Structure 1
Amino acid sequence: MDKEFVKVACSNCNLRELCMPVGLNAEELSRVDELVATRRSIKRGMSLFHNGEKFTSLYAIRTGFFKTSVTAEDGRDQVTGFQMAGEIIGLDGIVNDRHTCDAIALEDAEVCVMPFDRIEEISREVNALQHHVHKIMSREIVRDHGVMLLLGSMRAEERLAAFLLNLVQRLQARGFSRSELVLRMTREEIGSYLGMKLETVSRTFSKFADDGLVEVKQRHIQIRDAEALKRIVNPQVCR
């Protein structure tokens, strides 16, 4: 079971600049602090919300890692995204007041619960918050569009290279290394997200390692040649 904790002030959070608007004055900050109703702790493998569940809140991930997934017609889980600390999860529920996917913790995690009716109320007073929510929604649309392009036109090597570069970039924004990461998801989950078979994911990791682009030790990945990975994703056009 997950646990509920008392609210924590956004103004005192070290992730504030990642998931909250910047440049607020003291009065606006105090209003934004009212957003967080509680903090929830979710154990690895447990769900934050389920497909079809009534939408009430957005969640700011404080610690931990999540995956979102939907169940395909053949009963398999299709991973639709991975979310980490400093990101907002739950936007899928805004359209129809019900969540359209499952959100599962890939490791022990904590989230700040932000009731959506409270977000709407405070947004009317703090314009920067309304603008920030729109930016978050826009970022999700852009990310979804990017995944569609990834799945529609890229080869296996391009897909995995783009995935690793995106992951490192997001982790670096949170103060982590630009060249080392620990994969919180399995190879199978990566394959589900990228539209690749498990064997193809493993084979592509091995090729990257053989070519000296990465060093792989189970879930520990060290990027040896980021520029080469970038060239795989965006090959230079011959002139």
Structure 2
Amino acid sequence: MSLACSSASDASTTAIPPLKTHCSNCNLRDLCLPCGMKPSDVGGLDELHFTRTKVKAGQALYHEGQPFRNIYAVRMGTFKSSLTMADGREQVSGFQMAGELMGLDGIANGAYASNSTALEDTEVCTIPYDQISSLAAASASMQQAVSRLMSREIVREHSLMMLLGSMNAEERLAAFLLNLSQRLKLRGYSASEFHLRMSRAEIGSYLGMKLETVSRTFSAFQQQGILEVDKRHIRILDAEALKRIFETRVH
């Protein structure tokens, strides 16, 4: 893959040699851009030769207000999306992992509406939006696939947040952990034991909870025998109990 990333000249990102793996044979194809596409359309994606870019932990892939040129597919690692509030505070708006897309919020106004920061050493595919648009214009099935893809990502970003408005602290954290567990399972990882890449403060920002409340709720779940917590390492001991906490509000 060979087109240059818009931020590849930034010290935070590094362009690396072309991929030998294309969309048609990538192990993330059922989660990422080719999902639901016809083989011929996936072949069209292979012709684009997307760039892959490494972003080190703590560094930005793009910033709020930066001109929009690309969408990004996470190949490896975890990112957080965030907004900068009027007083300078950060508001975390989402977490993305392998097979998920970032940058779609830049389509509407021609500039990214959020910041994207790597929570660990990461790698992304850089997808030039104008080339995807050209492919979609030439193929009705490709256009449908791209529209479906964008809709899926928007729903994924907002579905959990929509549920959080009326939830208490335990329900919010249960929803977050169940969502994370399901996403990890889809990627072939353990659904019951994992390492959190985000801090307690970042989880609190995302869930609308104070840091102290997040820590207290983790401790409460551990005391109830629902979780085993060792700093950022989480082991879910009673997934059904987590589901009951979450479903109490949903139903």
Q: 1:60 to 1:67 in 2, by over 3 A?
A: same
Structure 1 pair 138–236 and aligned structure 2 pair: CA distance change class (3 A): closer
Equivalent of 2:214, from 201, 205, 212? 201
- Is this contact kept in 2: 1:36–1:113, CA < 8 A? no
Structure 1 segments, 4+ long, off by >6 Å, are none
Q: CA deviation at 1:144?
A: 4.4
Please tell me whether residue 5 in structure 1 is matched to residue 16 in structure 2. Answer: yes
Matched with 2:6 is none
The 8 Å contact of residues 37 and 142 in structure 2, kept in 1 or not, is answered as no
Where does residue 65 of structure 1 map in the other structure? 78
Distance 2:250 2:42 in 1: 48
Deviation at 1:224, TM superposition (A): 0.8
Deviations 1:28-52 (A, max 9, x none): 3321113443110111111110000
In the TM superposition, what is the alpha-carbon distance from 1:107 to its structure 2 partner? Answer: 0.5
Q: Specify the SS of the correspondent of 1:81.
A: strand
Count how many residue pairs are aligned between Structure 1 and Structure 2: 237
Separation in structure 1 between the aligned mates of residue 29 and residue 139 of structure 2, nearest angstrom: 16
Q: 1:181 and 2:197 equivalent?
A: no
CA contact (8 A) 2:41 2:142 kept: no
Please name the residue that 1:191 is paired with.
204
1:236 positional shift: 8.3
Structure 1 residues not aligned, in runs of 5+: none
The residue that corresponds to 2:4 in the other structure is none
TM-score normalised according to structure 2 size: 0.89
**31-40 or 51-60, which deviates more:** 31-40
Change (3 A) 1:163 1:36: farther
SS at match of 2:53: strand
Task: Indicate the percent of aligned positions where both proteins have the same amino acid.
Answer: 55
Structure 2 vs 1, CA of residues 216 and 118 (structure 1 numbering), >3 Å: closer, same or farther? same
Does 1:54 pair with 2:67?
Answer: yes
Q: Secondary structure at the match of 1:18?
A: coil
CA distance in 2, matches of 1:16, 1:111: 14
The equivalent position to 1:212 in structure 2, one of 225, 228, 239, is 225
In the alignment, what sits opposite 1:45?
A: 58
Whether the 8 Å contact between 1:36 and 1:115 is mirrored in structure 2 is: no
| Equivalence for 1:80 | 93
Secondary structure of the 1:176 match is coil
Indicate how the Cα distance of structure 1 residues 178 and 118 shifts in structure 2: closer, same or farther if over 3 A, else same: same
Amino acid at match of 2:99: G
Corresponding residue of 1:102:
115
Looking at structure 1, the residues matched to 185 and 142 of structure 2 have their Cα atoms a distance apart, in angstroms, of 25
Structure 1 residue identity aligned to 2:15? E
1:237–1:201 Cα change, 3 Å: closer
Which residue number corresponds to residue 3 of structure 2? Answer: none
Aligned counterpart, 2:178: 165
- The answer on whether the counterparts of 2:101 and 2:153 sit within 8 Å (CA) in structure 1 is no
Once the two structures are TM-superposed, the CA of residue 23 in structure 1 deviates from its matched residue by: 5.5
**Stretch of structure 1 that moved more, 182-191 or 135-144:** 135-144
The 1:151/1:12 distance shift into structure 2, 3 A limit, reads same
Q: TM-score, normalised by structure 1?
A: 0.93
2:83 maps to a residue whose letter is: V
1:133 is aligned, of 138, 143, 146, to 146
- The verdict on how the C-alpha distance between 1:52 and 1:237 changes in structure 2, with shifts beyond 3 A counting, is closer
- Give the 3 Å change call, closer, same or farther, for CA 39–54 of structure 1 in structure 2: same
Gapped regions of structure 2 (runs ≥ 5): 1-10
Q: Retained in 2: the 8 A contact 1:21–1:128?
A: no
1:112 aligns with 2:141: no
- Offset at residue 203 of structure 1 (A): 0.2
Paired position in structure 1 for 2:166 = 153
> CA-atom RMSD, angstroms?
1.8
